[in-house]
Chain A
C-alpha cells in the first residue's frame, strides 16, 4: 500500500522589499527589477507535503495557475522535494480569485485523484484568502483553514488550528482540503541536488477555463506614510531614565 497523494497549490508572487514600486497605470506592482517567489504560507505547505511523502512513501505534487514564467516557482517546489508539477495556463499569475478557483477545480477533476489538497491561507500578493474554500466547495470536499498541524491516519486527516476559543483539532475524511499558515513547520532550503533534479523535471501543462470573475482591480495605492514626529529619548544606556519616565507617564511602571 502506498502513502497518500498530496497536492499543494502555489502562486508566483513578486519578492518585494521594503519599498514597492507600482506600474505607471498603478494597476500592478512594477516587477521589472524584482525577483519572484511563493508566499511563506505556501512554502510551509510544500514542506509539509514533502515531509508526508518522505514519511509515508506517498507523493507530493505542486500546482500553479499562470503563464510559462510561473514554472520557475514550480521548479522551486520541485527543488524542495516535490515530485511532480502541473501548470494551469493563464495569462497572469494574479487572476481574479473566482478564475483561479475555477482553474484549479478544473485541473483537479482532470488529474489523478489526490487525498489532500493544500493551499496557503492567503496569497502573499493579493491576499484574497478564498481560493481554497471555493475549490473545496466546488469539489464537495471537507475544508479546514488556518491549519498549523497535519496528521494523516489511514483514510482520515486530523488538522489543528488556533481559534479564538482555543486550539482546535478537526477530523476530516479523505479526500480533503486544508489552507495552512506559516508556523506549520520550518521549510528547508533546496539542496544543489534538488535544484539539478528540478531543472530537468517535466511539467504538465493544462488549459485554463474561459471564465471571468466579478472583482476588478482599478488601482493599487501605497498606505499613507506613517512617519511620526519621533521624540528621541537619547542614545545608549544613558537614555534609560528618560525611557522609564515615559513608561511611568504611560502608566506601565510606577
Chain B
C-alpha cells in the first residue's frame, strides 16, 4: 500500500497540496500494483467522498484529543504506530512545514530514513528519489534504503486529475495510543490573519529588490500593486536593509509564491530568489541590466530604472482608466 498523509482545509476537504500528493501516490501505486490508502485526523465529514474521486481505497481516521490542535509531534507518533501496523510500501506527505515535522517525528520513532522535498520517486532496489536541495537551488538524486519509504513531496504545479472510478472508501477509525506523560507543546492561542491579500495567495505580486533603493522607494510599488489588485513583495536585500518586513520576502528563506503575474522590480534574480518565484505563470522584469538572470528568465522585460518606469506605468494605467 502507498499511504498518503492528508492535510485538510477549514472545510475538512484535502488541501490543494494534499490533492497533488494523492495524485502522485496513485501513479506510484499503479506502478507497484498496490492500493492507495489515506490517513487523516478528525471526523470523516465529506472526506471519504473527496478521496473516492482520488482513487483511495481505505481511509484511516486518527482520533485523539492530543491531535485536535494539529500538533505535528502527536501526529508523528500516531503515524509511526499506523505504519508499524500496516507496513505500507511508502508513506507520502506534502512537504509543508507541519507535515514534514510529523513525518520526521514518525521517522525518528521508526528509526527510518526520510527523504524530504522530493520531486520524483522511482521504486527499485533500492528506491531512488530526486529531491530539492537548499529549497530547489540544486537537485539531488538519492538512494532511499528502507523497508518503508517515508517521503515528502514538493508541489509540482499542474492540477491533479480525478479518476473516473469513484469506488466506495472504507473508513477505519484509529485511536492512537499517545502517552499523556510525555511533555508536549500545547496550542494556547490562534489568531486568524487580518483579512486581505496575502503574499502567498495574491494573483499579482509586485516585488522590489536592490534597484528600489530605499524603504520610501516602495511607495510606487504599492501604488502599482493597488491598481493591479496585487500584493507587494521584496527580495532578501530589501529585508536585510530594513526596507521591508521579512513577511514580504519572496525566495528560499521567505515565501514561495505562484501568482498569475510576478512583476520583479530591480531584482537581479539570484537563484535563492528565483526558487521563490519561478512558479509564477507570467513574469515581467524591470531592470537596468538587460543580462540580469531575472530579465533573461522573464516573459516580458523593460530595461530601465524602477523609478522611471513604474511612475510612467502608473500614470498610463490611470490615463487609460480615465479615458
Contacts and interface: CB of A to CB of B under 8 A. Distances in A.
Given A170-B185, A214-B145, A143 B73 contact: yes
Contacts of A232: 290, 300-303
Nearest to A159: B185
Contact of B101 (A143, A172, A214): A143
Given A133-B76, A233-B302, A213 B105 contact: no
Query: In terms of DSSP, what is the predominant structure of the interface of chain B?
Result: mixed
B217 interface: no
Contacts of A172: 183-186
Query: In terms of DSSP, what is the predominant structure of the interface of chain A?
Result: mixed
Nearest to B295: A230
B210 interface: no
B191 A216 contact: no
A158 B112 CA distance: 30
B185 A167 contact: no
Given A18-B293, A163-B70, A235-B303, A171 B144 contact: no
A183 B249 contact: yes
B175 interface: no
Nearest to B182: A140
A232 B300 CA distance: 6
B301 A230 contact: yes
B98 A163 contact: yes
A1 interface: no
A126 B278 CA distance: 20
Nearest to A181: B253
B108 A101 contact: yes
Given A130-B116, A217-B142, A244-B313, A166 B192 contact: yes
A62 B186 CA distance: 27
B295 to A, nearest CB: 6
B135 interface: yes
A87 B100 CA distance: 27
B113 A222 contact: no
B100 A130 contact: yes
Nearest to B242: A186
A246 interface: yes
Interface in B80-96: 95-96
Contacts of A247: 228, 261, 317
A137 to B, nearest CB: 4
Contacts of A181: 253
Contact of B113 (A98, A140, A168, A248): A98
* Most chain B Cβ neighbours within 10 Å, of A101, A129, A169, A222: A129
30 contacts: A101-B108, A128-B114, A132-B104, A134-B105, A138-B108, A142-B73, A143-B105, A145-B97, A163-B70, A163-B98, A166-B190, A170-B186, A171-B186, A172-B186, A182-B246, A214-B112, A218-B142, A220-B138, A220-B140, A222-B139, A230-B295, A230-B296, A232-B300, A233-B302, A236-B302, A239-B302, A240-B312, A240-B316, A252-B228, A252-B230
Interface of A: 16-18, 20, 29, 39-41, 96-98, 101, 121-122, 124-130, 132-134, 136-138, 140-146, 158-159, 161, 163-173, 176, 179, 181-183, 186, 213-223, 226-228, 230-241, 243-244, 246-248, 250, 252-254
List the 8 closest A-B pairs by CB distance, nearest first: A214-B113, A183-B246, A133-B104, A130-B104, A237-B312, A137-B108, A240-B312, A172-B185
